Chains A and B, each alone.
Chain A
């Protein structure tokens, strides 16, 4: 059984994004250039089970958000082909739900404290489509619960806002509607017509959010309205939700199926 790829070789990856972003003196800069995990989705079929697990079903109350989809691990909803991971949201009656989709997570398979987490993704689109690439803190053997465990939303998008994504953190006293968030808008482009890199650089007392070569936000302990809960291992989640309070329901104009295409997921640690 293949273990996670812990890549120790030094990669001469210049931190293009850091070079490109402005030199705001308040930013804390750490170079995370030690690639410790990557999935380039080059092998057709189901995603690599050494890395990815699935959430199945509708969770509790539509995964806490009144989401409308039923998550499956069927190839109709999640498959690796054409060099990308495809998460496919469909409009179909399935197990009592009107939509199906998939939610992949690395819980118990890959978790890490701090680092650079990024993915290259082309987003789906349309009213009521809610794609996300995010991190959730591990729950200390079930002794902690959300939002105490912490949540870092590297990328969330409302399908009806094809030029916008949001980067957000949730924690105690700053979750849901009170979360700490900032949106990023593409100029003269959209997120559903090509691939874009979404990432965070997460260090001991900061989280930097970037899209492609633009660092657009930094959140530090002084920015949150509660305890800083980002000093323990987090795991990765990638999903496409349908409906729910954040995005609203699909309408007649929403085209199905919708595909989120993930070219790669990479995680780096500090030197």
Chain B
């Protein structure tokens, strides 16, 4: 309280200086005091804890690993002793701690290295050792990995990457070390301090481990800068490389309308175009860069809706995918296709193929083949980049290698489907759902090994996502969606939700082969046509539906490849509407009655279906 009074009374700068000392003794730094700077005390542990130093072991480490040793010292009366536990020690599986200045930090800008003397009870390699870890932002963290200790006292140096950053550093020292070959051991550190050696030079910062990285990506993607390091040359002539925090770098984007970089080294892609992200540290250009080619806004493929329990995924973020050998085998000598799972839009991976002629995803060499014999359907989402013209095609081939689990032999089978310009679309995702049975020739699928795409360069650039197999039960496991239309606006033929037209004949004998049954699906009465060739439905009375707008029906078929619905008026006059089949679950259709022209909507007497396969029908009604 006394201190506050002095500050408020506008004392002189000299007095503030005095206060700084008082304040640091009380471990209560005022804002005014901070203006005069923090102590440049270089000492961490010479013969005891330096002023402000506190010990904080890591969670899970042996809290008692560190002690002060007054017998075995390099110099003076005490050293720091670290007892690394044995493997499996119940007190903690490793030794590790930070040593922090709790007086608010120190001004280390006048030094160029952390130095200490050390020895160990046996030759050991400290996993990680350094400074800048403060259990807060770790803004100026420096980590030297793999410091080799000998059984005699030797001096060690850890270079500061850019001392000008360290004007208020609390993280004075930290280490983490586990057992050597499961055995614990002891090492000692003495004369631990910061020094101005003057012999550390040739600062060579790097990002991405010095590599020049190129990525194709989209707006909205965040890319972390990784492998940030600094290499210096020591007076011994040896280089030393340490891993350093983003705080030591100044990052630059060559085009901030394409990508920006945060102080924490996270690149945010915000627009279309090309930008190069580079960095400097300590006024030295860092080795390594990130060149971003952004396609701008990205539209993700439709999110798959199949229940994961019924899916075997090759490539999808919606499911747990099976491991693969590769997404592009670069099959020599004829393959031109480049690219694989290169695109990651915030966790959504997408395969990008360019210069496509053919390319294969394989899962047979280093990973198991995949048994899709229980699956019924194949799904893939494809977006073509570039005009799709007549004659362009994309063949999707499935390769099974048989029970010998090896290519060749008598038991390899394969089948393919071909997508053409009538299906594929420039710049739009197209979802392909086909019964595996359409991959004619794929007679076994218990040892699936490859998914191959072939375009013969008719289409050269595609995005691919959500490659998976799924099982649709031949019988629906859920009821058709319950209708929501008000009964007053409905004339119902077949539905549990409404009062149906009385006296209708669901299975009139028109000479058909179709077997008609009524099945309870999840408690809901459902009409089933087995082995459909054609099938009529005779209404109990002639219906005037001219006041109605739609014919509604729900249908479900896993094995029909042709299906038509007919409306028949007195005469008879009939008209057909083709229904997409097979389905991947219940399909709800609202067919405009106008589509059945010239059927007389005032005199509807019958409905009819023809086609093939087994078809479930429900909620057949007219409404407006």
Contact = CB atoms under 8 A, between A and B. Distances in A.
Contacts of B196: 188
A255 interface: yes
A188 B197 contact: yes
A228 B20 CA distance: 67
Contacts of A255: 202, 204
A188 B235 CA distance: 9
A253 B204 CA distance: 12
A161 interface: yes
Contacts of B204: 255
Contact of A163 (B199, B202, B239): B199
A97 interface: no
Given A125-B233, A127-B237, A162 B201 contact: yes
Nearest to B197: A188
Nearest to A187: B198
A253 B198 contact: no
A93 B235 CA distance: 31
B198 A192 contact: no
A125 B197 contact: no
A140 to B, nearest CB: 40
A159 interface: yes
B198 A189 contact: yes
A160 interface: yes
Given A125-B233, A162-B233, A253 B239 contact: yes
A28 interface: no
Contacts of A193: 201
A188 B111 CA distance: 12
A190 B239 contact: no
B239 A162 contact: no
Contacts of A253: 239
B360 to A, nearest CB: 37
Nearest to B204: A255
Interface string B192-212: 000011110110100000000
Interface in A155-202: 158-163, 186-190, 192-193
Nearest to A189: B198
A214 B198 CA distance: 18
A61 B199 CA distance: 35
Contacts of A189: 198-199
Contacts of B197: 188
Interface residues of A, number: 18
A125 B200 CA distance: 12
Nearest to A159: B237
Contacts of A186: 199
B305 to A, nearest CB: 54
Nearest to A252: B239
Interface string A141-160: 00000000000000000111
B202 A125 contact: yes
A163 B201 CA distance: 11
A158 B235 CA distance: 12
A161 B237 contact: yes
A118 to B, nearest CB: 23
Nearest to A253: B239
Interface string B166-209: 00000000000000000000000000000011110110100000
Nearest to B235: A163
Nearest to B112: A188
B610 to A, nearest CB: 76
B199 A192 contact: no
Contacts of A188: 196-199
B159 to A, nearest CB: 13
A192 B202 contact: yes
A255 B204 CA distance: 10
Contacts of A127: 237
A188 B196 CA distance: 8
A220 to B, nearest CB: 32
B201 A192 contact: yes
B198 A162 contact: no
Interface string B236-273: 01010000000000000000000000000000000000
Contacts of A163: 199, 235
Best-surrounded residue of B197, B198, B204, B233 (most CB of chain A within 10 A)? B233
A192 B197 CA distance: 15
Contacts of A192: 201-202, 233
A145 to B, nearest CB: 34
Interface in B209-247: 233, 235, 237, 239
A125 B239 contact: no
Nearest to B198: A188
Contacts of A126: 233
B284 to A, nearest CB: 12
26 contacts: A125-B201, A125-B202, A125-B233, A127-B237, A158-B237, A159-B237, A161-B237, A162-B199, A162-B233, A162-B237, A163-B199, A186-B199, A188-B196, A188-B197, A188-B198, A188-B199, A189-B198, A190-B198, A190-B199, A192-B201, A192-B202, A192-B233, A193-B201, A253-B239, A255-B202, A255-B204
Interface of A: 125-127, 158-163, 186-190, 192-193, 253, 255
The 9 closest A-B pairs by CB, nearest first: A188-B198, A160-B237, A193-B201, A189-B198, A163-B235, A253-B239, A190-B199, A190-B201, A161-B237
Given A125-B201, A158-B237, A162-B199, 13 more contacts: A125-B202, A126-B233, A159-B237, A160-B237, A161-B237, A162-B201, A162-B235, A162-B237, A163-B199, A163-B235, A186-B199, A189-B198, A190-B235
